[in-house]
Amino acid sequence: MIRFLAFILCRIFFKRICISGTPYTGGSSIWASNHSSGIVDPAVMLGLAPVQIRPLAKHTLWDIPVMRQFLKLTRAIPVTRLQDIKKDIQAQKEMLEQGNFEADWRAKANNEAFQKVGDALLEGDSILIFPEGVSHDEPFIFQLKTGLARMALQAMSRCKDENFTVVVQPAVIDYSEKDEFRSELYLHFCEPVVITSSDFSVKDIMDGVRESLESGFASFFSWDEKRNWRFLFELAYGRSPSSAREFRIFVEQNRPNFDSDQIIMAKIQTMRRMMQAVNVSPAQLVWGDNNYKKRNFFWVMIRHGWFYLFVSFPIETLGTLVWVLPAKICERLAKKSTSDRDVRATMKIAHGMWFFPLWAFLMSSIFTYFAGGYLPQINKIVLWVAFLILTPTFLALSLIVQESINFFPGFLRLAKLRFFFPRGWYELMKEWREISDGVMQKIKDSEEQNLKNKSLNK
DSSP 141: P
pLDDT at 103: 46
> At the topology level of CATH, where does 2-214 sit?
Glycerol-3-phosphate (1)-acyltransferase (3.40.1130)
pLDDT digits (tens, 9 = 90+) for 424-435: 878 888 888 888
The 10s digit of each residue's pLDDT in 282-293 is 766 654 444 334
Distance CA 414, CA 425 (A): 8
Q: Which residues of the chain have pLDDT under 70?
A: 1, 65-66, 81-110, 179, 181, 283-298, 300, 338-346, 349, 404-407, 457-458
CATH 3.40.1130.10 domain span(s) along the chain: 2-214
Could you give the CA distance from residue 407 to residue 293 in angstroms, rounded to a whole number?
A: 18
DSSP string across 7-59: HHHHHHHEEEEEEES----SSSEEEEE---STTHHHHHHHHHSSS-EEEEEEG
Antiparallel, parallel or unpaired: β 29-33 and 126-129: parallel
- Determine if the pTM surpasses 0.75: yes
Can you give the pLDDT at residue 183? 81
Beta bridge partners of 170: 32
pLDDT, position 345: 62
